[in-house]
Amino acid sequence: MSAQNPFLSDWTREFEMPPFELINDEHYADAFDAAFAETRAAVAAIVDDSQPTFENTIEALERSDTLMDKVAGVFANLTGSNSNETLEALQRDLSPKFAALNSEIMMNEALFARIETLYETRAELNLIDEQARVLELYFKRFVRSGAKLRGADRDRLKDVLQTLAKLGTQFMQNLLADERTWFMELSREDMDGCPQFLIDAAAQAATDRDIDGYVITLSRSLIVPFLQFSPRRDLRQKAFEAWGKRGANAGETDNRDIVRETLELRKERANLLGFDTFSDFKLEPEMAGTPDKVRDLLMAVWEPAKAAADADATVLGEMMVADGIDADLAPWDWRYYAEKRRAAEHDLDEAELKPYFQLDQMIEASFDCANKLFGLEFRELDVPLYHEDARAWEVTRDGRHMAVFVGDYFARSSKRSGAWCSRFRGQSAMDGEQRPITVNVCNFAKAPAGQPSLLTFDDARTLFHEFGHALHSMLSDVKYAYISGTSVARDFVELPSQLYEHWLSVPSVLEKYARHADTGEAMPAELLQRLLAAENFDMGFSTVEYTASALVDLAFHTETPPADPLQKQAEVLDRIGMPAAITMRHATPHFAHVFSGDGYSSGYYSYMWSEVMDADAFEAFEEAGDPFDADLAARLEEHILSAGGSKTAEELYTNFRGSLPKVEALLKGRGLV
């Protein structure tokens, strides 16, 4: 099998691209078996080595998972973006094995003794700054993973971590199953009142499912415009309720018990490691540091956002009355009447705007901004990829290869919802220059054959957001993979992505790239002005739905784990005075950020924490009078985008801007002051 398994031989394609056309589902199991064995053998060799040095311990650990990174880099991406039953079954089998291997390494007494010795004598080792940082992070990771536990506590933590891994995988697969299987078939008459771009997208979704007619799915790119434009209140309610019930439909895909058990086990994990709550444990290495600081930030934003949303709800309710509807404003009404209000107050019509936001043009816009700021150039590649919709570009600067960028933009049933940035390979320079292969995954509606795919302005913002993450990965310039690219504090990682969104709104960018799909004409100056003037429209709504989600996440992980998570969610929302016509952006049973793994658990606030910085950081360009100021762009790359986790987040930001910002920068940016 080894000779035939693409993972177990060198990849000789240009840029060492994975040979996707040779990789079959059956290759993964054998490749992972080999990777597990290689990693265990490498760790054993480290332990058996002589007196510990940075090279024979830390650098050797960096090399210990070379094959694992190679296999998992492909597998993890495909289980999110092009999954199937075989991959999902293997994912369920592998998740506890990964957790077991991690515990086996992190709780290896002899290995930790070597790292502890190095850490305690670090002042005598003549380490460069980056090596000292890597050593510190390894030491802290081992301690936080239970390296100092003994006996029953150590065994129990291993069991807890394996169970949490299983639960996170099952949560995500349940959610994907609900999103994959639900759709609403509609007739042409049911689509009356909807703009043509939505009708076309619903027709394409039906075609994709071999259905005659029109289909609304739970993909955000379909359901959100349906909620915005459909005059059929009954259909809006049906779609919204299905969207909100993902993960809570009873049966095999119900996530409520998974959430309950996850919260209990996270609390136990924190207690075993000496922390009162899971939030105390999770936030210790982040910029925020403590739950109180997170709560202070969220509540500072919550009050003005709720006041704005309450005022907006009154206006929207009056619009409903004017339409002859004798009912309270409901969540399935908000987007519909907000869109009508935007059209009336700002003279903006999504059907008029959307032809100016062609996907290909927005991709080019994101590339052009990267060129102006950082000198990057993009050449599309003709290479085999894992799906026919995915595309790849070589990224260069002054003739030097910097990265391969993969874009996978369209929604499909094999892809989980949302948008994200990941990588098939990360950057490092420990054993020669290794440049990254970075991927952006989105869920935009695919246009019918022969027509350009169109985005909303929010879709275009998502594209820029994820490309900001990609730049963080592609511009990384450190020696050790452990701190490369996006390997930074969770509440710092969203800074590059949210900052990059600002360049979409630069008038010169839109003047060049917002061109009509039919005529090729630039967006009229007067329409562009109206679009930019309305950027903060309905900001109370979007801030409330996000902040409520972050506050529920925080409460889950600072308070006693609830017997009924949905009851606890309701109590938290009642406590903060959640407006009745707005729901959480991510209700608990489909809150994948928090429950599909550890990433954003007790950390959903991170987007807002980073937004305080991104508002302040872009203000630096505004103060310079040029959004493409060369000196500032160079500082941004040097101190943030290329630096990875080589310093603390506070140091990185202060080196760029001079000081840390205050929450007023965010409130000003959102128009909530």
pLDDT at 311 over 80: yes
pLDDT band at 650 (very low <50, low <70, confident <90, very high): very high
Give the burial class of 213: count Cβ atoms within 10 A of its Cβ; 0-12 exposed, 13-18 middle, 19 or more buried.
middle
Report pLDDT for 581. Answer: 98
Distance CA 6, CA 8 (A): 5
The phi, psi pair for 443, rounded to 5°, reads: -135, 55
Sequence-separated contacts (24+) of 84-87 with Cβ below 8 Å: 84/25, 84/414, 86/25, 87/25, 87/28
Topology (CATH level 3) of domain 2-148: Neurolysin; domain 3 (1.10.1370)
Tokens encoding 78: 């495909």
The Cα–Cα gap between 372 and 500 comes to 13
Does pLDDT of 1 surpass 50? no
Segment 21-49 shows an average pLDDT of 97
**Residue 3's pLDDT band (cuts 50, 70, 90):** low
Residues with Cβ within 8 Å of 291's Cβ and at least 6 positions away in sequence, in order, are: 277, 279, 280, 283, 554, 557, 558, 602
Nearest to 557 by CA among 315, 300, 262: 262
Q: Is the pLDDT of residue 338 over 60?
A: yes
Q: What digits encode the pLDDT tens for the residues 58-105?
A: 999 999 999 999 999 999 999 999 999 999 999 999 999 999 999 999
Q: Which residues pair with 422 in a beta bridge?
A: 439
Fold category of 252-348+538-604 in CATH: Neurolysin; domain 3 (1.10.1370)
Residue 223 has pLDDT above 70, yes or no: yes
Q: Which is it for strands 391-397 and 377-381: parallel, antiparallel or unpaired?
A: antiparallel
Q: What angle do CA 314, 318, 323 make, to 5 degrees?
A: 150
Say how far apart CA 413 and CA 180 lie, in whole Å. Answer: 5
pLDDT digits (tens, 9 = 90+) for 435-477: 999 999 999 999 888 899 999 999 999 999 999 999 999 999 9
The verdict on whether 364 is a catalytic residue reads no
Distance between CA atoms of residues 572 and 568, nearest Å: 6
Contact 479, 430 (CB under 8 A): yes
Cα–Cα distance for residue pair 281/266, rounded to 1 Å: 10
How many angstroms separate the CA atoms of 28 and 73, rounded? 11
Which value, to the nearest 10 degrees, does the dihedral of the CA atoms of residues 16, 22, 23, 25 take?
180
- What CA–CA distance (Å, rounded) separates 240 from 545? 15
What are the sequence ranges of the domains in the chain? 2-148, 182-246, 252-348+538-604, 355-533
User: Token pair for residue 428?
Assistant: 């490092």
Task: Work out the mean pLDDT of the chain and round it to a whole number.
Answer: 96
Residue 449's pLDDT is: 87
Region 342-351: what's the mean pLDDT? 92
Percent of the chain with pLDDT over 90: 96
Query: Looking at residues 212-237, what average pLDDT do you find?
Result: 96
| Residue 557 scores a pLDDT above 60 | yes
The CATH class that applies to domain 355-533 reads mainly alpha
**pLDDT, tens digit (0-9, with 9 covering 90-100), for 141-168:** 999 999 999 999 999 999 999 999 999 9
Q: Which of 59, 339, 466, 637 is catalytic?
A: 466
Stretch 415-421: mean pLDDT: 94
Q: Do domains 2-148 and 252-348+538-604 have the same CATH topology?
A: yes
Would you place residue 350 in the very low, low, confident or very high pLDDT band (cuts 50, 70, 90)?
confident
The Cα 262–Cα 316 span in angstroms is 39
Give yes or no for a contact between 672 and 543, defined as CB atoms under 8 angstroms apart: yes
Token reading at 141? 């990771």
Torsion of CA 71, 72, 77, 80, to 10 degrees: 130
